Amino acid sequence: MKKAIFLATLVFFIANLATAQSIIKLHAGADYTVPMGDLGDLYQSGAGGHIGLSYKLADSWDIGAHVGYKVWNADNDYFSKKLSELSGENVNIEVDMPYSVIPIMLDGFYYISRDKFQPFLTLSFGLHLAKIDANSVKLNGVEYSFRKSESKTVTAYKIGAGFNYLFSEKIGLNFAATLDGNGLEISQSESSSDGSTTTTNSSSSTTSFINIALGLMYSL
């Protein structure tokens, strides 16, 4: 009798484990990012990657978490144009000053459909481990090297939409387009003088960017 109860309990446990496994999804992929605001002035479009897990909470709801890495390089055309305008001469500058973030995020998903094509809305909150590495500046072919890094952990958000497309019960394509951001301010200023008057123009905005993510999803 005890053996029968044990076997029944074991079968029940395995059945529940199998059910739990079917509602956990692993997703990983690549990111293409378009910076906005002052970040978009100073930096080019960037790239990165991500990996995460999600859990089916209800028919239309998933919760999850993901981590990733994104990096942007300075827009040298923008810097060269600004310096040429200010100096009145043709200036070529190359700035080696990448800006990177490591997102650590908690995710929520609302699924409009759970069929083979699964459109969803998503909202995430968490942290960005942000870092700017100032390495060198090359001005008209002459390089000036220096090494200085600034790191800061700031609150972050992500909001957008996407879809899963299932190739089978286990494997599918994952796509999302989101607006991402954090509380780190990016600022710029420029000054000009006509001999008697100095004019300074400045602007500042928090980090924000459009993120296009494409990857694969695997149901565990």
- Give the CATH number of domain 26-219: 2.40.160.20
Interval 141-191: pLDDT, tens? 778 887 888 899 999 999 999 999 999 989 999 999 999 999 888 877 766
CB 202 within 8 A of CB 188: yes
Interval 108-143: pLDDT, tens? 999 999 999 999 999 999 999 999 998 888 888 778
Domain ranges of the chain: 26-219
DSSP3 helix / strand / coil % (the chain, rounded to 5)? 20, 65, 15
For 121-138, b where at least 16 C-beta lie within 10 A, e where not — what string?
ebebebbbbbbbeeeebe
Distance, CA of 39 to CA of 99 (rounded, Å): 9
pLDDT at 71: 97
pLDDT at 93: 85
CB 153 within 8 A of CB 184: no
Distance, CA of 155 to CA of 39 (rounded, Å): 17
Interval 17-32: pLDDT, tens? 445 445 889 999 999 9
Mean pLDDT of the chain: 86
> Amino acid identity of 53?
L
**Which is more confident, 190 or 76?**
76
